[in-house]
Amino acid sequence: MSVDAYLIVDQRSSPPPEMPALLKELASRYELDGYSCRQLLLGQTEALLTKGPEPRLKKIKQTLVNYDFCCHLITPSPLKFAPFILTRVEFNANELKFFGREKSLIVPKDSKLLIFLAELSGSLVERTLSQILSSHRYTGNSENSGLPLKKWQRIILQGRPVLDIYLLDEKGKPAGAVRAFPGKFDHQSLGERATLSTNQNLLKLIELTQEYAGHHRVDMRFGISALPGANLQTAKADDLGALKKNLRSLTHYAWLQADIDRQREQPTPDSESETIASAATALLTAMQPELATNLPLQKEIISELTSGVDAATATPETETSGTNRSQLPTPPDLQHHSTWNSPRTIIGISIFVGIALLVKFGNSTSWLGPMIAKSFSSGAMSGLLAAFFFIGGFRRLQLKRLIQNTPTSKIRSIAMGRVEVHGNARRQYALFSPMTNIACIYYRLVRYKRNSKKDWVVSSITSSGHIPFWIEDETGRVSIDPSAATVKAGHRQESMAEGSTAFGGFSSPDEKWVEEMIYDGALVYVLGEAQVKRTDRAPRLQRRAEALRRIKQDSQKLSGYDTNKDGRIDESEWQTARDDVDEQLLHEDLSQSDQQKRQEDQVVIGKPRHRGTPFVIAETASEAKLTDRYTLATAFFFAAAGLASGLSLWLLLQS
């Protein structure tokens, strides 16, 4: 089986003047999505532009080179090993030795090395980059100076750092690797370099390694480069699964970097000259959805890595096919929601009005004052609040149970009616989040302004809640119309975006925005109603009647059915005509079925026709995680309801 080649581009920090022509050429000649290409071509790291057969990629490469883009055509090497965990080091004048529990790695003087300092939790990278992203719009911000190396190093050390050192052979292929975690190796073995700080010891280890390297490169871009299989996902401290995934992504990233370095025509830049990206485009994949497969434990990773590579590369493959399949159409006009009718606003307004009335008329002698005061003191208000929380709690409980009780359908065979599907979301339109410019299938942007009392007030809400997208599993894909759905986005970004006038007029510290989004490629759960898509194709019965009418009107055809030549079409002769029409229609349907075999052309999952039936779209790795969220919400609502009921009862008894 042939392995797909990768076309990796060195991104440019600003778009060249001939960028539109390049994008047009990429779209027309190679059917690459212009929007995605633009994002992948801009930045300061590397990005996988596309993958596929080598001859095709060579042509694309030539086109890019014509436009002064530097690119690398590589055939990714299979991962043969993963780094072992460092326990101690030994060194003498000629060599540096790394020891693990069972393995060791000897680095002779003047060796070729690749050193990776990476942050595993992903959250720090995400948070820092969100600031950069704020000032980097789709139009390309060439003024971004990027983060200096030292600052980036500091950011990494603030999180969960890890150090990977790869020894390269003469051909530049990895010959051995070691992985160091701060505090997990014998720092005394560093000799005089040892310090009391675990993080400093990690830096000292880098220094020591650099002394033994003839040619080396320190790479800190894991998480911000857009390379396949090298995604850094946000992982909580206790989420060992996610951390292990990030470790495997790091291994994959390191092997890819070795491949890229081999392909570089010019020597790699020295570590001191590097700066870290103004990385809006790079973040595209840095925060892409997690891989669907579970990762093996670190100790078992070596034996399973080779097979795991397929899984790791599977995601980028589908990503590429998803975004670059063809030129995606421009999305329909945006939806602007009025701000007053969102549930949160209504609750907020109700509470505000209640308190304002109490303050204003609480001590008033008019009839309104005592009535309001009485409603609070008698416990009626807290009783209402309790009822509200009870209803909210039960609604969530009901939804949770509905989600649990509905089996997940395979997309290939979904039946009409209520269905539950789970798979990767893909864009139908070239949709990008308006503030962070990330390819997404859904976003919701809320803008806030400070009022005269310096409180934040919603000034506008914009969402892509009416723009359809695909959801695909291993059997096929189906269209989702998210109109009127309850959408639970997995990512949320908030920024003041001070002074960035490129963001449509945000130039004041009195303005901020909150953006929620579901990335293109994210794992999404959908509970909705499958319906037949409205098509222009007439129903079969109608087409049959039409065809028979045409035969009746065509005397030549009609005489063809007059087998006994009596000048009349009797019942049996007409039956023959009917059979012929049926057969013809069947062939039409079958050829249509070949062309429209996939669900995408026939079915759409959308809002249920019956009121009150839920329609949920949620970014989640699994159904269980989603129901856990509903369990928590239910518990919160019931606890709040219990407290409010207790208060109400107490007030009632007091009065």
Partner 1 sequence: MTGWIVLGVLVLIIALVVIYTIVIYNGFIAMKNSIERDWSNIDVMLKQRYDELPKLIKVCEGYMQHEQQTLEAVIKARSAVSNAGSGNQKLAAQNALSETLKSLFMVVERYPDLKADKGFRQLSNRITELEDQIADRRELVNSAVTIYNTRLEQFPDVIIARLFNFTSRQLWKIDAAHRQDVEVNFSRS
State the residues that interact with partner 1 by CB under 8 A. Answer: 390, 394, 397-398, 401-402, 404-410, 412-413, 415, 417-418, 475, 583, 586-587, 590-591, 593-594, 597, 645, 649, 652-653
What Cα–Cα distance (Å) separates residue 88 from each residue in 112, 161, 179, 191, 212?
Answer: 21, 18, 11, 11, 16
Tokens of 259: 């491949």
In sequence order, what are the residues at sequence separation of 6 or more whose Cβ sits closer than 8 angstroms to the Cβ of residue 417? 529, 530
Classify residue 42 as left (phi > 0), alpha (psi -120 to 50) or beta.
Answer: beta
3-state DSSP assignment of residue 31: coil
Rounded least distance, CB 407 to partner 1, Å:
3
Q: Tell me how crowded residue 607 is: count the other CB atoms within 10 A of its CB.
A: 17
Return the beta strands (E) in 387-451 as ranges: 417-427, 440-450
Nearer to partner 1, 242 or 527 (CB): 527
Rounded least distance, CB 546 to partner 1, Å:
21
Half-sphere exposure of 490 (CA within 13 A, CB side): 25
Assess contact for 86 and 184: CB atoms under 8 A.
Answer: yes
Rounded least distance, CB 397 to partner 1, Å:
6
Rounded least distance, CB 162 to partner 1, Å:
40
Nearer to partner 1, 413 or 555 (CB): 413
CA dihedral of residues 147, 148, 151, 152 (deg, nearest 10): 70
Rounded least distance, CB 537 to partner 1, Å:
17
Task: Estimate to the nearest angstrom the gap between the alpha carbon of 299 and the chain centroid.
Answer: 29
Rounded least distance, CB 525 to partner 1, Å:
15
Nearer to partner 1, 1 or 415 (CB): 415
Assess contact for 222 and 253: CB atoms under 8 A.
Answer: yes
Nearer to partner 1, 77 or 377 (CB): 377
Distance CA 206, CA 218 (A): 9
Nearer to partner 1, 494 or 623 (CB): 623
Nearer to partner 1, 284 or 626 (CB): 626
Rounded least distance, CB 623 to partner 1, Å:
11
Rounded least distance, CB 401 to partner 1, Å:
5
Rounded least distance, CB 385 to partner 1, Å:
14
Nearer to partner 1, 101 or 410 (CB): 410
Give buried/exposed letters for 466-499 (b at 16+ CB in 10 A, else e): ebbbbbbbeebbbbbbbeebebbbbbebebbbee
Rounded least distance, CB 412 to partner 1, Å:
6
Nearer to partner 1, 1 or 653 (CB): 653
Nearer to partner 1, 552 or 597 (CB): 597
Nearer to partner 1, 273 or 405 (CB): 405
Nearer to partner 1, 13 or 475 (CB): 475
Task: Say which amino acid occupies 320.
Answer: T
Distance CA 258, CA 115 (A): 11
Rounded least distance, CB 644 to partner 1, Å:
11
Rounded least distance, CB 434 to partner 1, Å:
39
Long-range contacts at 200-207 (CB < 8 A, ≥ 24 apart): 202/117, 202/157, 202/161, 202/163, 203/153, 203/157, 205/89, 205/163, 205/180, 206/115, 206/117, 206/163
Q: Of 423, 329, 412, 425, give the one whose Cα is nearest residue 603.
A: 412
Nearer to partner 1, 317 or 473 (CB): 473
3-state DSSP percent of the chain in helix, strand and coil, to 5 = 40, 25, 35
Assess contact for 276 and 147: CB atoms under 8 A.
Answer: yes
